[in-house]
Amino acid sequence: MERSFIMAKPDAVERRLSAEIIGRFETRGLRLVGLKLIHPSRELAETHYAVHRERPFFNDLVEFITSGPVVAMVWEGRDIITVTRTMIGATNPVNAAPGTIRGDLAIEVATNLVHGSDSLETAEKEIALWFAPSELLP
Ligand code: IDP
Ligand code: MG
């Protein structure tokens, strides 16, 4: 079964939307196999977003993601990347469809509430970065 790394970002925790976000994946029928509250270090954040290192918003992105606790999760299910990315919605919430997390609950691209891996290859790397094998259900 396929797995993805999903994170409720600091804005989600600050706005008390963690349960809402977890609940959407739960009620969809996905299986939660890893969950923890963590205040990310700069090193962890920079590694996680390394693909964006050259982007003009990289520093702001790292500052933001290290600004408070996040809810780090691993969800499992068939076609997990497509299912979770569709549920999360477009990167810029202005373009996110109603019914998606970003389309229902966010309006700014920098504070778009949730991260989801964009491929199985990325997911594998992100899961290994954020979780020890012992922290995940078999
Ligand atoms: P994704 O989260 O939908 O996969 P990415 O392109 O991987 O989007 O970008 C990572 C994060 O960087 C986004 O979720 C968003 O918070 C932030 N971001 C992306 N583009 C911009 C931008 O143009 N300005 C500010 N922040 C951005
Ligand atoms: Mg991305």
Q: Does the beta carbon of 119 sit less than 6 angstroms from any atom of ligand 1?
A: no
Pocket of ligand 1, candidates 61, 85, 87, 107: which has the most ligand atoms within 8 Å of its Cβ, to mutate?
Answer: 61
pLDDT in tens, 31-64: 999 999 999 999 999 999 999 999 999 999 999 9
The whole-number pLDDT of residue 74 equals: 99
**Domain locations along the chain:** 2-135
- Per-residue pLDDT in tens (0 to 9) along the chain, 138 residues: 899 999 999 999 999 999 999 999 999 999 999 999 999 999 999 999 999 999 999 999 999 999 999 999 999 999 999 999 999 999 999 999 999 999 999 999 999 999 999 999 999 999 999 999 999 999
Q: Does the beta carbon of 112 sit less than 6 angstroms from any atom of ligand 1?
A: yes
Q: Is domain 2-135 given the CATH code 3.30.505.50 in the classification?
A: no
Mean pLDDT of the chain: 98
Contact status, residue 38 vs residue 72, Cβ threshold 8 Å: yes
Pocket of ligand 1, candidates 4, 11, 57, 94: which has the most ligand atoms within 8 Å of its Cβ, to mutate?
Answer: 57
Nearest CA to ligand 1 atom 5: 91
Q: Does the beta carbon of 109 sit less than 6 angstroms from any atom of ligand 1?
A: yes
Instruction: Determine what percent of the chain is predicted with pLDDT higher than 90.
Output: 99
> CB-based burial of residue 27 (10 Å sphere; 0-12 exposed, 13-18 middle, 19+ buried)?
exposed
What are the respective helix, strand and coil percentages of the chain, to the nearest 5? Answer: 45, 20, 35
Assessment of whether the complete model's pTM goes beyond 0.95: yes
Q: Does the beta carbon of 92 sit less than 6 angstroms from any atom of ligand 1?
A: no
Contact status, residue 6 vs residue 116, Cβ threshold 8 Å: yes
Token duo for residue 50 = 């390394």
